[in-house]
Amino acid sequence: MNSSPEGNRFLSKSQFFRGTRCSKAWKLFWSHSELKTSRLDSHDVFQIASKEISLKSRKLFPEGEEITGNTEQKISKTLQAVQNKIPIIYNAHFQRDKVLVSVDILKYEQGRWKLILVKSASKKKRKHIREVALQLNILKSNGLSISSASLLHVNTSYILEDKLDLDDFFTEIDLTELALNLQSKLDGKFISLNDTLNNQIPEVEIGTYCLQPHECEFKNHCWSAIPETSIFDLTRLATAKKVELYLKGITESQELPEDYPLSEYQKIQIHSEKTNTRFINEKAIEKFLKKLTFPLYFLDFEALQPVVPLFQGDNPFEFLPVQFSLHYLETEEGALQHKEFIAENNLDPRLGFATTLVNSIPENACILVYNVALEKKINKSLALRFPEMEKQLKTINSQLVDLIEPFNNKYIYDPKMKGKSSIKAILPVLVPEMEEAYKNLNIKNGMMAMGAFFNLQGNQDSNEKNKIRQDLLDYCKLDTLAMVKVWQYLNNLFPALTPQKTK
């Protein structure tokens, strides 16, 4: 083991598992953590949900002792609590060879310890088995006798009644046997870890492990030789195939052999990149634009998926619409107008959301959305919930037109889009004056918006609450303004095709 590391003092479980796929990552985490690109985000919605679930789970194992302090203190306090046979320990910290794990719940029963991993997940996943196995391994290496190891996850069929029933909300699955089966493999990984940390940085080619299950924090460093536009940007090609091509020496799509099987979309992208020109399929865009009529509306929803249901009758992870933005043009010459809705704190937003929505959109509107699935799904569920608005909500769904179509289907493609079709990828390419628009906002993407909504709950500071609400309004408004700008760009390609007023 490196005795004087310049980087991490401990490896987290995710760093350990990253290293089981790529030993270079172990060495870099340990001795060159300055090369990391941080993915941490204070609005991280997954972290917020995990924390909430972890705290809720403690009520099933009450009166435990929580381990606090810095990492070294947590490790020594945990060992002390174990020695004292504290019946329930929360947030217990253990290390083996500087790999650190924290155990949500540790329970002492009949001379042995039961470890419980708590996850805000809807079912057992392979990564949970690996995590429990690692915890079991490290606890055993610290001399604990383990009676069982289990996963506590969320029961998705739970329905909230008057108050949260934690026994019904959580599902516990015993993973002892599965975790025991992985022990010799894990012991082998610890041996490799020690070898790696005692040696030079290993030579490792880039691979699928750089991108899966999440992008590696050292990607910027290891991928610095990959050109700005590369084979990794090719649309609709599996990562494993991209890596395979790269390892054969193909770095850019243009270097693909003539006979390489390509879809029409991929051929368009490659041709556009080769010639460095914007591809425009005039016929297809013309056909798309002909579907649009005035009054023309641009709609975007924001929704939460709370792990713990907030309102009676709801399931965990049920979509809860909390905000919409609506830009609209009544006529071709008319001014661009705007309406919006945002949920009031702690109140069920669905009735207000649905009522405002149906009152804001006329029956003859043509409604552009970007990636229609969420809007359709939410309108359907609102229609079921409020039969009095079912007809209008169904009408709205029948009027939706997906503005992503020209980009998903490569009716238009610019090399700067890098194989992507999200609004945030195409907007700065087509409308360069909007390049900084999202960067200038406090909330820059949907995940941050969800995190901000969760942060609003229970926030008592009215100034802070007002600021977050304004940030949310600004973000959602920009999403629909971006759609207006993209539509205007397409429309300006064919001025003769200005949408017709519906009769």
Residue 265's contacts (CB-CB under 8 Å, 6 or more residues apart) are 235, 236, 409, 410
Question: Min. distance of Cβ 36 from ligand SF4 in angstroms?
Answer: 10
426 is written with which tokens?
A: 């195409």
Using CB under 6 A, pick the residue from 8, 10, 28, 82 that binds ligand SF4: 28
SS3 sequence of 331-351: CCCCCCEEEEEECCCCCCCHH
Question: If you search the block for the tokens 């492990």, which residue do you land on?
Answer: 209
- The yes or no reply on residue 22 touching ligand SF4 (CB under 6 A) is yes
Main-chain phi, psi angles of 401, to 5 degrees: -125, 135
Closer residue to ligand SF4 (CB): 24 or 107: 24
Q: Which stretch binds ligand SF4 (CB under 6 A): 19-27, 45-53, 151-159, 272-280?
A: 19-27
SS3 sequence of 184-226: HHHHHHHHHHHHHHHCCCCCCCCCHHHCCCCCCCCHHHHCCCC
Distance CA 200, CA 28 (A): 10
Degrees (nearest 5) of the Cα angle 102, 105, 108?
A: 115
- The yes or no reply on residue 24 touching ligand SF4 (CB under 6 A) is yes
Question: If you search the block for the tokens 């992870």, which residue do you land on?
Answer: 317
Q: Which stretch binds ligand SF4 (CB under 6 A): 91-99, 143-151, 206-214, 445-453?
A: 206-214
- The yes or no reply on residue 216 touching ligand SF4 (CB under 6 A) is yes
E strand or H helix at 165, and its extent?
Answer: none
Using CB under 6 A, pick the residue from 17, 169, 209, 288 that binds ligand SF4: 209
Closer residue to ligand SF4 (CB): 127 or 339: 127
Question: Min. distance of Cβ 235 from ligand SF4 in angstroms?
Answer: 22
Using CB under 6 A, pick the residue from 67, 106, 121, 210 that binds ligand SF4: 210
- The yes or no reply on residue 32 touching ligand SF4 (CB under 6 A) is no
Tell me if 139 sits within 8 A of 107, measured CB to CB.
Answer: no
Distance CA 76, CA 94 (A): 9
Question: Min. distance of Cβ 37 from ligand SF4 in angstroms?
Answer: 10
Question: Min. distance of Cβ 16 from ligand SF4 in angstroms?
Answer: 13
Residue 71's contacts (CB-CB under 8 Å, 6 or more residues apart) are 9, 10, 93, 100
- Number of residues lying near ligand SF4 (CB under 6 A): 12
Closer residue to ligand SF4 (CB): 86 or 206: 206
Distance CA 277, CA 387 (A): 51
Q: Which stretch binds ligand SF4 (CB under 6 A): 96-104, 212-220, 315-323, 421-429?
A: 212-220
Question: If you search the block for the tokens 């516990």, which residue do you land on?
Answer: 172
Closer residue to ligand SF4 (CB): 153 or 242: 242
DSSP designation for 236 = T
E strand or H helix at 272, and its extent?
Answer: helix 264-275
Distance CA 300, CA 368 (A): 9
Question: Min. distance of Cβ 223 from ligand SF4 in angstroms?
Answer: 6
Using CB under 6 A, pick the residue from 11, 15, 17, 25 that binds ligand SF4: 25
Closer residue to ligand SF4 (CB): 22 or 482: 22
Q: Which stretch binds ligand SF4 (CB under 6 A): 209-217, 269-277, 349-357, 420-428?
A: 209-217
Closer residue to ligand SF4 (CB): 251 or 356: 251
202 prior amide bond cis, ω within 30: no
Distance CA 51, CA 118 (A): 10
Q: Are strands 99-109 and 320-329 parallel, antiparallel or unpaired?
A: unpaired
- The yes or no reply on residue 322 touching ligand SF4 (CB under 6 A) is no
Question: Min. distance of Cβ 221 from ligand SF4 in angstroms?
Answer: 7
Using CB under 6 A, pick the residue from 206, 389, 430, 486 that binds ligand SF4: 206
- The yes or no reply on residue 222 touching ligand SF4 (CB under 6 A) is yes
Residues for the chain: how many in total? 503
Q: What SS3 class is residue 227?
A: coil
Count of beta carbons in the 10 Å neighbourhood of residue 413? 26
Question: Min. distance of Cβ 219 from ligand SF4 in angstroms?
Answer: 5
Q: Which stretch binds ligand SF4 (CB under 6 A): 69-77, 153-161, 202-210, 263-271?
A: 202-210
Question: Min. distance of Cβ 185 from ligand SF4 in angstroms?
Answer: 19
Using CB under 6 A, pick the residue from 13, 98, 127, 219 that binds ligand SF4: 219
Distance CA 280, CA 110 (A): 72
- The yes or no reply on residue 218 touching ligand SF4 (CB under 6 A) is yes
Q: Which stretch binds ligand SF4 (CB under 6 A): 106-114, 211-219, 296-304, 413-421?
A: 211-219
Question: Min. distance of Cβ 35 from ligand SF4 in angstroms?
Answer: 9
Give contact residues for ligand SF4 (rule: CB under 6 A).
Answer: 22, 24-25, 28, 204, 206, 209-210, 216, 218-219, 222
